[in-house]
Structure 1
């Protein structure tokens, strides 16, 4: 029971991290100091997608599920949980590259807007 709950907590942490990577720059208007956490998170998220690697949280979740008596899964978190919602096929290298480019594009746009706003306010 504890291991199953811990595995579910890892999934929630993973989802929160992905959301932070994609849109965390939007929080900078309210909390500018988050930049010191967000930039490394974006770099990690983009690197993981471009390198085609599996996040370390995925094996942790699978291990906890196995300890709970549940079956783990093959592949990565995005492939197992998110892509079935977005794409009917399995995660491909091309999809990973598109996801990485999406992360970079969203964050470049948000950071540009944030920096322009800061410059105007503190200019």
Structure 2
């Protein structure tokens, strides 16, 4: 039972991490100093999406699921288990990546606009 709970926590953290990769720039609208963290996470997510290397959370969850007596993750990992052909068709993976990149870019552009407006308002007499 403990391994199943730990596997579910790992899966949840993985989903939250993916959400932060895509949406973390919007969090920086509220807390601008967090953009450095989001930039690092977005770069990691970009390289992972392109090169498809294994995220450390994937083997962790896989091992926990096996110890819990459950089926492990698909051989290709987390995305193939939970997202491909579940949330979107596998053949749309490039389009999904482009949409995620567009959301990140939009959040950063919005952040730049907000910071510029704030600086302008702070300098105004």
The normalised TM-score by structure 2 is 0.85
Alignment correspondent of 1:46: 46
Count residues in correspondence. 119
Q: 1:18 to 1:43 in 2, by over 3 A?
A: same
Distance 2:117 2:33 in 1: 18
Aligned: 1:114 with 2:111 = yes
Alignment correspondent of 1:70: 70
**Offset at residue 65 of structure 1 (A):** 0.8
The normalised TM-score by structure 1 is 0.86
Give every structure 1 segment of 4 or more consecutive aligned residues whose post-TM-superposition deviation is greater than 6 Å: none
Distance 1:71 1:112 in 2: 42
**Offset at residue 77 of structure 1 (A):** 0.9
**Offset at residue 84 of structure 1 (A):** 2.8
**Offset at residue 47 of structure 1 (A):** 0.7
> CA contact under 8 A between 1:42 and 1:103: conserved in structure 2?
no
5+ residue gaps, structure 2: 121-125
Matches within 5 A, 1:1-123: 1-73=1-73, 74-88=75-89, 91=90, 95=93, 97-123=94-120
> CA contact under 8 A between 1:46 and 1:101: conserved in structure 2?
no
5+ residue gaps, structure 1: none
Distance 1:2 1:34 in 2: 33
Specify the structure having the higher radius of gyration (Cα).
2
